[in-house]
């Protein structure tokens, strides 16, 4: 008896693995290892101090473990996420012990984690056969959660309906199941039923799930109703619920609501900051997003990767390279640069801010590169005109077993079309077929355009005609543009009439842009005006600035500058730089300084730092002998330190 008391005291003070093994030896010598109570205590110590496998061996030595002892071990396994061990122990336990409700709860939790639907259904059947499962709300909740995690919401609903008086936990579990199964409408319907038909008041956990469902469907009205309900309930609103509402307003672009809620919050954590910064960054308030990020850092809040990514996206949107570099330095100091999502956001930011060298440095430092990071680098190089570099990245990417998607194929075809290398286009054509991208309309259109820009109009036509009746408006438009590039405007017009006559495809604004461009290149003034009027009157499409610019260019090419200026004066929309630029170029060709001055004055209001406009007008003044005016413009260029973008030519040897 005394030895039993001594060992009990030793159990309470045992804190190291070495002491535990000595204690285990003592129990064996004293015969206490056959005592179920001692054996259970010993097993729990093994779980705390030694590997799980060792603890399981000790448990297996217990002569007749009770249901409580088994449940404690199952609980330990669940806590360590050893769900396979839970199900193994549950199966063996059936041979010597009848499981109780707690046993079934732990087993169902393991089935939920492992998504083992059949095993869970077996447990469900066992519970119905051997216990009054329908009187236990916790088991009902566990069953609903299990079926939800396995994607079987029909069975989850059937379990719920078997309870005549479901409590709040059961309702919440069903709402959460629908929300996590990406069925937000059903989640909201269940919540409405809970409130309206049963009169059960929700708790913060329920409300967080409901707001999340509203966010999934971007239902601002329903979300605001939930917010109103929360306020009417009168109690203090917990932070997770406030953050959930903040996220709703951020995702729905309700920047004013998000700002008001954020300012009213007494307690703010890093998730709150992440939501409001993301809201501003993605809804046009980029300066505000950067300002909030700086405020967060100033207040000593430790940023997470989400905050940093949102701030970098704000820098990317407003091309604030200097601030982007500062955030990069902060991310490096905090160890966040190691996060692959942060590194990818840095690549995007540097590429958008025209700093591809820094983007490449970030990419080279990445320990793990995923598909998205490769794509960001490649697309950024195309965006910055580094077409040879993008081709090299594409080769390196495929050599690393990273397979491109349709978006990347479009980008690399754009790069190839800018290089004008036909045999590279043929190679990419083969890759398109092998990769199964030929069914993608944008890839097909890019391939047609690529062949056309590389001078292989015949190959472009072969690809186009090979599609038989499987042509949408994107493909048709690319072929119109291809004929236009080669100055074959009449073929482009003929193809347009064929599309309208023989297919069910109708033109869009891009189609008319391609046709008008073809007419402009070929000097077909009447046809161009005809198509412009067709777009406006027959198809009821409002022209954009680019359409107007092409008509102005078309009139300008044929020297009809007075008609061009009249056409501009009749425009209903704001005249953009494209339009005035087309007129200024035409004035340069036909040496009309008077109208050219009008065009240049409007252009310089729209874009006062474009050196090319100053130079064009200066050259016209010089030809007209207006040397003082020409010299004045040249002086303005020097004073404002403007630089003309250098033209480039590529010759392939």
Tens-digit pLDDT profile for residues 238-291: 999 999 999 999 999 999 999 999 999 999 999 999 999 999 999 989 999 999
Distance CA 96, CA 99 (A): 10
Distance CA 568, CA 583 (A): 9
**pLDDT, tens digit (0-9, with 9 covering 90-100), for 216-236:** 999 999 999 999 999 998 888
Distance CA 533, CA 519 (A): 14
Within 8 A by CB and 6+ apart from 222, the residues are 188, 214
Cα dihedral sign for 39, 41, 45, 47? Answer: positive
Which pLDDT value is given to residue 77?
A: 82
Tokens of residue 350, six digits: 């540097």
Which pLDDT value is given to residue 642?
A: 57
Distance CA 567, CA 569 (A): 5
Say how far residue 359 (Cα) sits from the centre of its chain. Answer: 20
Say whether pTM exceeds 0.85: no
Is-contact 582 553, C-beta < 8 A?
yes
**pLDDT, tens digit (0-9, with 9 covering 90-100), for 448-506:** 999 999 989 999 999 998 887 778 899 999 999 899 888 898 999 999 999 988 888 88
Select the highest-mean-pLDDT range: 209-213, 439-443, 636-640: 209-213
Provide the mean pLDDT of the chain.
85
Indicate whether 31 pLDDT > 70.
no
Select the highest-mean-pLDDT range: 76-80, 81-85, 94-98, 613-617: 81-85
H helices, E strands: number in the chain: 38, 0
The DSSP annotation for 395-440 comes to HHHHHTT----HHHHHHHHHHHHHHT-HHHHHHHHHHHHHTT-TT-
Burial tier of 85 (Cβ tally within 10 Å: 0-12, 13-18, 19+)? buried
Cα dihedral sign for 30, 34, 37, 42? Answer: positive
Which pLDDT value is given to residue 313?
A: 94
What 8-state DSSP symbol labels residue 135?
A: G
Which pLDDT value is given to residue 117?
A: 92
Tokens of residue 231, six digits: 């306020």
Range scoring the smallest mean pLDDT among 215-229, 298-312, 420-434, 560-574: 560-574
Distance CA 263, CA 62 (A): 60
Angle between helices 286-298 and 305-318 in degrees, nearest 10: 140
Distance CA 394, CA 435 (A): 14
pLDDT class of 213 with cuts at 50, 70, 90? very high
Within 8 A by CB and 6+ apart from 652, the residues are 419, 420, 421
The average pLDDT across 362-377 equals 92
Between the two ends of the chain, the Cα-to-Cα distance in Å is 99
For the chain, the structural domain boundaries read 369-467
Closest CA to 544 of 504, 567, 572, 525: 572
Segment 636-644 long-range contacts (CB within 8 Å, at least 24 positions apart):
637/611, 640/609, 642/609, 642/610, 642/611, 642/614, 643/611, 644/611, 644/612, 644/615
Is-contact 611 644, C-beta < 8 A?
yes
pLDDT class of 591 with cuts at 50, 70, 90? confident
Tokens of residue 393, six digits: 């990245």
Burial tier of 369 (Cβ tally within 10 Å: 0-12, 13-18, 19+)? middle
Closest CA to 34 of 63, 70, 67, 5: 63
Range scoring the smallest mean pLDDT among 29-43, 73-87, 93-107, 448-462: 29-43
Distance CA 358, CA 20 (A): 56
pLDDT class of 172 with cuts at 50, 70, 90? very high
Which pLDDT value is given to residue 594?
A: 80
Is-contact 263 254, C-beta < 8 A?
no
Is-contact 257 273, C-beta < 8 A?
no
The CA-atom distances, in angstroms, between 639 and each of 543, 611, 622 are 38, 12, 20
**pLDDT, tens digit (0-9, with 9 covering 90-100), for 560-584:** 888 888 888 877 777 777 788 888 7
Q: Name the one residue in this structure whose structure tokens are 């953009």.
A: 576
Is-contact 215 247, C-beta < 8 A?
yes
Q: How many CB atoms lie within 10 A of CB 549?
A: 25
pLDDT class of 1 with cuts at 50, 70, 90? very low
Give the angle subtended at the CA of 323 by the CAs of 317 and 325, to the nearest 5°. Answer: 105
Q: Name the one residue in this structure whose structure tokens are 């499987």.
A: 470
Is-contact 148 181, C-beta < 8 A?
yes
The average pLDDT across 43-70 equals 67
């Amino acid at each position: 008896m005394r030895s039993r008391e001594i060992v009990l005291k030793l159990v309470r003070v045992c804190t190291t693995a070495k002491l535990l093994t000595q204690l285990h030896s003592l129990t064996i010598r004293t015969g206490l290892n056959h005592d179920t109570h001692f054996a259970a205590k010993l097993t729990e110590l093994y779980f705390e101090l030694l590997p799980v496998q060792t603890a399981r061996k000790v448990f297996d030595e217990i002569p007749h473990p009770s249901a409580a002892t088994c449940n404690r071990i199952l609980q330990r396994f669940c806590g360590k996420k050893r769900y396979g061990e839970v199900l193994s122990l549950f199966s063996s336990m059936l041979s010597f012990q009848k499981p109780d409700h707690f046993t079934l709860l732990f087993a169902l939790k393991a089935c939920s984690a492992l998504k083992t639907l059949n095993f869970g259904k077996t447990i469900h059947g066992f519970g119905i056969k051997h216990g009054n499962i329908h009187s236990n709300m916790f088991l009902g909740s566990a069953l609903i959660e299990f079926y939800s995690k396995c994607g079987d919401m029909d069975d989850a609903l059937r379990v719920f309906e078997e309870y005549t008086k479901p409590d709040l936990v059961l309702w919440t579990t069903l709402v959460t199941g629908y929300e996590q199964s990406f069925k937000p409408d059903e989640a909201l319907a269940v919540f409405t039923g809970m409130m309206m038909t049963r009169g059960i008041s929700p708790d913060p956990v329920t409300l967080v799930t409901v707001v999340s469902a509203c966010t999934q469907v971007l239902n601002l009205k329903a979300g605001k109703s939930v917010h109103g309900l929360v306020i009417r309930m009168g109690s203090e609103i917990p932070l997770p619920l406030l953050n959930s509402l903040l996220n709703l307003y951020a995702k729905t672009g309700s920047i004013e609501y998000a700002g008001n809620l954020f300012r009213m919050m007494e307690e703010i954590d890093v998730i709150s900051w992440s939501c409001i910064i993301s809201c501003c960054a993605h809804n046009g308030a980029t300066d505000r997003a950067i300002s909030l990020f700086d405020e967060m850092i100033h207040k000593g809040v430790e940023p997470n990767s989400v905050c940093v990514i949102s701030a970098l996206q704000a820098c990317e949107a407003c091309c604030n390279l200097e601030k982007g570099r500062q955030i990069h330095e902060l991310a490096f100091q905090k160890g966040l640069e190691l996060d692959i999502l942060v590194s990818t956001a840095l690549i995007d930011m540097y590429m958008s801010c025209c700093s591809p060298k820094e983007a490449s440095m970030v990419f080279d430092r990445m320990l793990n590169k995923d598909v998205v990071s490769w794509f960001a680098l490649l697309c950024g190089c195309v965006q910055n005109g580094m077409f040879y570099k993008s081709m090299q990245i594409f080769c390196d990417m495929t050599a690393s077993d990273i397979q491109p998607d349709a978006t990347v194929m479009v980008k690399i075809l754009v790069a190839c079309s800018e290089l004008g290398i036909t045999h590279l286009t043929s190679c990419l054509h083969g890759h398109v077929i092998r990769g199964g991208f030929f069914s993608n309309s944008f890839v097909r259109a890019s391939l047609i355009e690529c062949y056309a820009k590389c001078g292989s109009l015949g190959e472009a036509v072969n690809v186009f005609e090979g599609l038989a009746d499987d042509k949408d408006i994107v493909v048709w438009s690319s072929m119109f543009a291809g004929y236009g590039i080669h100055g074959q405007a009449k073929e482009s017009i003929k193809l347009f009439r064929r599309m309208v006559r023989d297919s069910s495809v109708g033109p869009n604004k891009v189609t008319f842009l391609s046709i008008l461009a073809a007419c402009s290149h070929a000097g077909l003034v009447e046809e161009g005006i005809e198509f412009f009027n067709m777009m406006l009157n027959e198809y009821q499409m409002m022209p954009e600035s680019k359409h107007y610019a092409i008509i102005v260019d078309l009139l300008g090419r044929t020297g009809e500058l007075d008609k061009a200026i009249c056409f501009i004066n009749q425009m209903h929309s704001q005249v953009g730089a494209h339009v005035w630029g087309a007129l200024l170029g035409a004035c340069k060709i036909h040496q009309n300084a008077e109208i050219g001055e009008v065009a240049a004055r409007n252009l310089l209001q729209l874009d006062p730092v474009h050196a090319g406009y100053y130079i064009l007008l200066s050259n016209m003044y010089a030809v007209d002998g207006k040397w003082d005016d020409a010299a004045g413009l040249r002086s303005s260029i020097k004073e404002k330190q403007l630089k003309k973008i250098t033209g480039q030519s590529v010759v392939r040897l």
